[in-house]
Structure formats: structure tokens, C-alpha cells
């Protein structure tokens, strides 16, 4: 499944879980670019119409639910022989993992978790949906502490005739209700019982009923009373213990009438943890008492005297006898249903081989190991990605074959998927990263991304990350840098703008302000005279832009500026100016030469040059050695001789 795409949309990335009916994968929705969880029906069940029906019921039931504490269902589909449901992906761990790691939880945390679960059940029950498999394994805790009830795999719309399907109890034996153990009527109160068991485990780190086999545990649910939680953990408040004991009453009528009423008591427990405000019957609801001996003739023995029984009492006695007969008959039926596989059978009788594939080896070994019937032996262990560790992959003889007993059944047990730890590929050259993945028997997919700091061809990140355990042949996504993305921008016209305004315009376009050079001019101080890059040209983002900014008019009254139009057929020219200026008060002149290279793009193609002098002076201008004009240019500097 890893690497395949379902519905032309959901790309399977990794396996994240498995249940009795389905495997769960993490996937990416390529349409909405988000992670989702995809539940896929086990391949060996696709021919079983009962399982197909349950799988469809899950999708229909869960899709109608919308609650903060219930995992959302996004899509349902079928591709060839693959039946799947697309659900919300929760980045977190199960409540079972939290309990296994931390043991008994603080009572306030238990209350918080219980309120979230109970709130989810209240929402589902209002829509006539009974979960029927509430257990810590089916409750996810996100990284921000929000609980999400998941796996409505055996949920079913509740009607007046809601019974367990096909006479089989469905659910996990440590958490299911007495009525589920008996295979009788289940309703919303069955979920309340299971929630009570979950609360018991959160408070004590133990389940109230345990045994060597599922049958033993089921009988305890029906017959035995639990040890009060405060006997195990004295820190549990009285109110919280009372809520748990009321929720797990054997009699459905003695439990909470609804998830809503239980939710009210959970909230009150926060305010009054040490008050026993919870109503309901005592845990010992069948105290020992003296029962009179029933006389068939219509009287009862009281010492040596006979006392006639009234007609009303006789009716009551008969009713009690009939009720007892029903109870005895029911228990007899339950006893046969539970213990029928343990009744001795004669040797050499023929019997069908049970189907053990997909079941947990240790449980099966305990349940079926009978020297008079079937003896379960482990032939070998194999890696297998479809079956969890400890699950039976195959058996010999095969299921449903008729054999003479006793018979040995040899089974192959899964070692789980062969896992490989993803190496650290970050900052590796991508070709080297590919070699490392090949050496680890992992596939890869290269995804190019622009990056401002990571050089081109270097791995930025990868999914799954370093140290994550994946299966042989899984796909690792390599995100490889394409270098910095080159973005072209239009150069604004900055001439005539103030220095601050020019800086803002440069920054807004993703450019950088370069050298700012002050220069005397007739323009007011702070006005841009020239810009280093021609206006309206296309340049790369983050290019440096130099500015020439006016520092105002010259203080020397004998200084003048001349503006020279620059030719545009060259990028750079040399301007040379020759003239004679007057020295002192005498008519003494000295030759002045100005020679400097200019970019033809500066100042919109005009070079502004400052000259010093007095009176009228004639100058000659040369551009790249070519004299400009036929005559000398006359400039009036003022002053003496003006």
C-alpha cells in the first residue's frame, strides 16, 4: 500500500495502526495538501459480506457526527478490492499509551479526559448512534491535549431492536458491558459502562476485571463486583469513585440514564470532589437476608406452626418462581454459549478446524489448547506488514477443513513489519541522500523547493524524519533546494523624490539601498539627483541601488553648473572642459581643465558639472575627444568685469 494513491487523490505514506477489521495509514490529500488517516478494510475480509456491511455502517454512522471530540470523516471510497474511509489525521498518541507510560493519572486530568469522552458520547447518542467499543485504544490525544473518540467500526444506529450482530459479542472483552458479554440488548448505557471501565483504569492503572482468557473476563463482567477504586488509590475523590461505580453497575437500569446526566455529575465533581452527591443504588445491591421456605400447599413454615398465605402473597411467590426459572434458563443458555467449546468430546470424532488467521497467538493458544480437541503449535515467525506482531498469519490444517480430533494445528506468527530507521539526510547533497536510501532498501521521491539560504541540490528536510521507523520499500520524500528563487522587479523612477521617499520605494520593490552620495546642485537639499540604475528597467530582487542626493546650492557665488546632454549610443563617455579663469583682482588668468568619465544613464542622460570663475568665460567641451559645437560656449559667472 505504501506509495499507492487511492481515489486519484490520497497518497499512502506510512502505516500507523491496525485493528480487527482494518489497517490504518497516514496519507497526503494531494487536492487539499493536508495529511489524513485512511482506514482500509483487511484484504482477507473483502469476501465477507458481514464485515463489508459493518465497514459501510462505520462510514455512514461516523460521517453524520460533527463534534470537537470525535474524529471527522472526510470521504468514503472503493478502488478495485480496496474499501477505505478517509478521516481526520490526529498527530498524537492513544489514551492507552498514556496510561501504559504514566500509570494512574491525576484525578483532575481523569475528570478532564472523561468530560471530553462523555461529551462525544452525548453527541453520538443524540443521533441514535451507539459506539459499543469504547476503550483507551480508540481514544486519541492530540499534541494540544484534545481527546478524539475514533473507530466507530462497530457503531450502529440504535433502534428498538439493537442486538449484537450474528450472536457474536463485539468489542474488547476488558471494556464491554455485561449485556454485551451475554449477547443481549445493547443501548447507550452500554457505552456508559465502557466509559466507567476506562475511568477506572485511568484512576488506578488497572482494569476492574481481568483473567487468563476472554471467557473468564466475560464471566466476571456478568457475575463479580469490582474492587472500589479508592481501595487501590486513596487519592481518588469520593465523588469520582461514586461516578465510576454508578457507571459500571451490572444492571442497565441502575446506571446513568444518559451521557448527559453523567456529564453533569462529572462537572459537579470538579466543584465538590469530596461530596457523595451521586445518586443510585449501593454497589452491594443484593445484601444477604433470610428467605422463608416456600410451601407448595400455600403456606409457609414458621417454627412448628402453619400460617396461611394470603392470595396476594401467593401470586407474588409464583411470580418470583417464574422469574427465577427465566433467570436460570438464561444463565444455562449463557453457560452453554460460553463453555460449549470446553465440553469433553470423544476422540476420533470429526470436527471443523477453527479459523485462527488474524487472531492473537497467545490468546488463541490459551483458548484452543485442548489435548482432546486442538493443540496449537507455533511453526515459525515471519515478518509481515499486514499483520501486527504476535498475530497468526497462516495455519495448517486450513480453516473449516473437517479433521479427526485430537488434531495439532501449526501456525505461522507475525513478527510485525520489518522496520528500518530513516538516516539523517538533511544538508546532504541529494545524490548522496539517494545512495543512502538505496543502501537501506528504501524508495524515495524528490520534491524541489526554492530556498533563500540552502544551496541548490542540498536536502532541506525529509519525511519521515531522522530516526523514524519505516518498513522496507517505504517511500521517503526528499525536499531538495533549487536555490534562491530569482524574482525580477521594475526599477522605479527616483529622480526628483526625497531621499526618504526614494528609500521607501526601493524597499517596497524588494530592492536594497546602496551607496548614497551627496552632491551640490540647484535642487533643494535631500532631493535625488541621479540613481544608479535606469528607471523602468528590469532587475533582480535584492539588487543594490545607488543614489546621488542634492546637498543644496554652492556657497561660492562664483560657482555655476552646466548641464551637458550625454549621447545614448554608449554606456560610458569621458567629458573634458577647458577654460581660463581670472586670478585675484588683476587681469591674470589661469587655465582650468576638467576631465571625468560619466555613465550615460546618469541624471536621465544629463551630466551636471560645477565650474568656478568670475565675469564672462568661454569654455570648450569635449566628449570622448570630440569637440562639442563649432564655437566656444560663453558663461557669465558674475562678479568683477560682469
Q: Which residues are catalytic?
A: 133
Please name which of 230, 186, 179 lies closest in space to residue 208, comparing C-alpha atoms: 230
Long-range contacts of 232-238 (CB under 8 A, 24+ apart): 232/204, 232/206, 233/104, 233/203, 233/204, 235/107, 236/107, 236/203, 236/204, 237/107, 237/269, 237/273, 237/274, 238/273, 238/274, 238/275, 238/276
Contact (CB, 8 A) for 392 and 399: no
Cα separation, 267 vs 260, whole angstroms: 11
431: CB partners within 8 A, 6+ apart: 457
Cα separation, 250 vs 242, whole angstroms: 15
Cα separation, 3 vs 198, whole angstroms: 37
**Sign of the CA dihedral with 96 first, then 102, 107, and 111 last:** negative
Cα separation, 375 vs 366, whole angstroms: 10
| Residues across the chain | 642
CA 26-22-377 angle, to 5 degrees, is 120
Cα separation, 24 vs 385, whole angstroms: 12
SS3 sequence of 205-231: CCCCCCCCCHHHHHHHHHHCCCCCHHH
How far is CA 7 from each of CA 11, 43, 427, 511, rounded to the nearest angstrom? Answer: 9, 18, 35, 46
Amino acid at each position: 500500500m505504501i506509495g499507492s494513491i487511492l481515489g486519484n487523490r490520497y497518497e499512502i505514506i506510512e502505516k500507523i495502526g491496525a485493528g480487527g477489521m482494518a489497517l490504518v495509514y497516514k496519507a497526503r490529500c494531494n487536492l487539499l495538501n493536508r495529511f489524513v488517516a485512511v482506514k482500509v478494510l483487511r484484504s482477507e475480509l473483502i469476501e465477507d459480506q458481514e464485515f463489508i456491511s459493518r465497514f459501510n455502517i462505520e462510514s455512514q454512522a461516523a460521517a453524520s457526527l460533527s463534534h470537537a471530540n470525535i474524529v471527522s470523516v472526510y470521504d468514503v471510497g472503493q478502488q478495485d478490492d480496496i474499501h477505505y474511509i478517509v478521516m481526520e489525521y490526529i498527530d498524537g498518541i492513544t489514551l492507552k499509551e498514556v496510561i501504559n507510560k504514566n500509570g494512574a493519572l491525576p484525578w483532575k486530568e481523569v475528570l478532564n479526559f472523561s468530560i471530553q469522552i462523555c461529551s462525544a458520547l452525548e453527541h453520538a447518542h443524540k443521533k441514535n448512534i451507539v459506539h459499543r467499543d469504547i476503550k483507551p485504544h480508540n481514544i486519541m490525544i492530540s499534541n494540544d491535549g484534545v481527546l478524539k473518540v475514533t473507530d466507530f467500526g462497530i457503531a450502529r444506529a440504535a433502534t428498538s431492536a439493537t442486538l449484537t450482530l450474528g450472536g457474536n459479542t463485539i468489542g474488547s472483552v476488558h471494556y464491554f458491558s455485561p449485556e454485551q458479554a451475554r449477547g443481549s440488548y445493547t443501548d447507550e448505557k452500554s457505552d456508559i459502562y465502557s466509559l466507567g471501565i476506562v475511568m477506572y483504569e485511568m484512576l488506578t492503572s488497572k482494569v476492574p476485571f481481568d483473567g487468563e482468557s476472554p471467557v473468564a473476563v466475560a464471566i466476571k463482567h456478568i457475575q463479580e463486583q469490582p474492587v472500589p477504586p479508592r481501595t487501590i488509590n486513596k487519592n481518588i475523590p469520593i465523588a469520582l469513585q461514586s461516578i465510576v461505580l454508578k457507571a459500571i453497575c451490572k444492571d442497565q437500569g441502575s446506571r446513568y440514564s444518559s451521557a448527559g446526566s453523567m456529564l453533569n455529575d462529572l462537572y459537579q465533581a470538579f466543584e465538590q470532589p469530596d461530596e457523595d452527591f451521586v445518586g443510585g443504588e449501593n454497589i452491594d445491591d443484593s445484601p444477604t437476608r433470610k428467605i422463608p421456605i416456600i410451601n407448595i400447599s400455600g403456606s409457609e413454615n414458621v417454627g412448628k406452626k402453619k400460617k396461611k398465605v394470603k392470595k396476594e402473597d401467593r401470586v407474588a411467590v409464583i411470580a418470583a418462581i417464574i422469574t427465577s426459572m427465566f433467570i436460570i434458563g438464561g444463565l444455562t443458555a449463557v453457560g452453554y454459549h460460553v463453555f460449549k467449546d470446553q465440553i469433553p468430546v470423544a476422540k476420533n470424532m470429526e470436527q471443523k478446524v477453527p479459523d485462527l488467521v488474524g487472531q492473537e497467538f497467545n490468546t488463541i493458544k490459551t483458548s484452543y489448547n485442548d489435548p482432546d480437541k486442538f493443540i496449537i503449535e507455533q511453526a515459525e515467525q515471519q515478518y509481515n506488514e499486514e499483520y501486527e506482531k504476535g498475530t497468526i498469519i497462516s495455519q495448517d490444517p486450513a480453516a473449516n477443513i473437517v479433521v479427526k480430533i485430537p488434531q495439532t494445528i501449526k501456525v505461522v506468527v507475525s513478527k510485525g513489519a520489518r522496520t528500518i530507521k530513516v538516516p539523517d539526510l538533511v544538508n546532504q547533497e541529494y545524490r548522496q541522500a539517494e545512495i543512502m536510501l538505496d543502501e537501506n532498501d528504501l524508495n524515495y521521491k524528490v520534491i524541489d523547493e526554492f530556498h533563500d539560504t540552502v544551496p541548490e541540490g542540498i536536502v532541506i528536510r525529509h519525511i519521515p524524519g531522522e530516526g523514524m521507523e519505516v518498513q522496507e520499500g517505504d517511500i521517503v520524500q526528499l525536499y531538495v533546494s533549487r536555490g534562491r528563487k530569482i524574482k525580477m522587479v521594475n526599477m522605479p523612477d527616483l529622480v526628483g523624490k526625497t531621499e526618504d521617499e526614494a528609500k521607501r520605494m526601493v524597499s517596497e520593490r524588494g530592492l536594497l539601498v546602496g551607496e548614497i552620495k551627496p552632491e551640490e546642485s540647484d535642487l533643494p537639499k535631500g532631493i535625488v539627483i541621479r540613481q544608479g540604475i535606469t528607471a523602468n528597467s528590469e532587475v533582480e530582487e535584492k539588487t543594490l541601488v545607488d543614489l546621488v542626493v542634492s546637498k543644496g546650492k554652492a556657497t561660492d557665488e562664483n560657482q555655476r553648473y552646466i548641464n551637458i546632454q550625454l549621447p545614448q549610443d554608449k554606456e560610458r563617455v569621458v567629458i573634458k572642459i577647458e577654460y581660463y579663469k581670472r586670478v585675484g583682482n588683476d587681469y591674470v588668468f589661469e587655465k582650468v581643465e576638467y576631465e571625468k568619465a560619466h555613465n550615460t544613464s546618469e541624471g536621465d542622460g544629463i551630466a551636471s558639472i560645477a565650474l568656478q570663475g568670475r565675469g564672462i568665460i568661454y569654455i570648450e567641451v569635449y566628449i570622448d575627444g570630440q569637440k562639442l559645437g563649432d564655437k566656444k560656449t560663453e558663461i557669465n559667472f558674475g562678479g568683477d568685469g560682469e
